[in-house]
Structure 1
């Protein structure tokens, strides 16, 4: 890869990273939870029900760390814990209604900020360019 191409790639990575960090800060609701706690809630939303060991593996953290995260989320009322029907020794974790609402609130706050930022800083032409870049970015995300 030539130097000018590498510079472009570096600039793209940097700007995307900064945007993600900025979006994380633009949700007062989301800031009350750690990144791993928010990620755990999203995993539960996507998978309906998981065991603590499955969540720990998906988050690439220890079972003990996941236990602490789940205890905090349970205390906040964002998750439900029940006993497995097939194996009474195993716990099943699901997202509670309150947890679902928190995720919706976080996304709403971030979307609202992003919409305001785009409207305030980008011309109509630039807004159209942003719409056009979504498909190529999705292709990059899917690349293995």
Structure 2
């Protein structure tokens, strides 16, 4: 068996518990991973526009709108008018959304702590460097665009 096939077998045999650690992240969630990522983004940046949400999530505006509509209806997000420009609608987490994201971050923190305690300093350094290298590789390959470190800036249109 080639080294590539061995690597693929290793990945496929072990990816689920690494990416979806139900034993660790035991929140009773009916939300999709995209919905959770959007909520985490809102937690990180506060208020953002639908355009920023769609661009950050790399999904069409119609899909982002549908997801936000669902999360607003469930009570996890809220829509507000921008203080800078009342014509612009921004999305933010509701109190219920903030609570859910806080619990999710707590669970993830416990998962990371478990990993941290299991690895030596040398292994942690190697893991970190490999993660950065793999992330950069995927970023370069993914549509030639780097992921946004922050939501895209609002474009101001001068109206006469």
> What TM-score do you get using the length of structure 2 for normalisation?
0.64
* 1:142 alignment counterpart: 132
**C-alpha displacement of 1:46:** 1.5
How many residues are paired up? 132
Q: Decide whether aligned partners of structure 1 residues 138 and 16 sit closer, same or farther in structure 2, where only a CA change above 3 A counts.
A: farther
**C-alpha displacement of 1:140:** 1.9
Q: Decide whether aligned partners of structure 1 residues 58 and 106 sit closer, same or farther in structure 2, where only a CA change above 3 A counts.
A: same
Which is further off, 106-115 or 16-25?
106-115
Higher normalized helix content (fraction of residues): 1
> What TM-score do you get using the length of structure 1 for normalisation?
0.70
| Structure 1: stretches of 5+ with no match in the other structure | 119-123
**C-alpha displacement of 1:54:** 0.7
Which is further off, 83-92 or 66-75?
83-92
Mapping for residues 1-20 of structure 1, pairs under 5 Å: 3-4=2-3, 6=4, 9-10=7-8, 13-14=11-12, 17-20=15-18
- For residue 53 of structure 1, give the secondary structure of its aligned residue in structure 2: helix
* 1:39 alignment counterpart: 37
* 2:96 alignment counterpart: 98
**C-alpha displacement of 1:12:** 5.4
**C-alpha displacement of 1:63:** 1.1
Q: Decide whether aligned partners of structure 1 residues 139 and 44 sit closer, same or farther in structure 2, where only a CA change above 3 A counts.
A: same
1:64 equivalenced with 2:62 (yes/no): yes
- For residue 82 of structure 1, give the secondary structure of its aligned residue in structure 2: strand
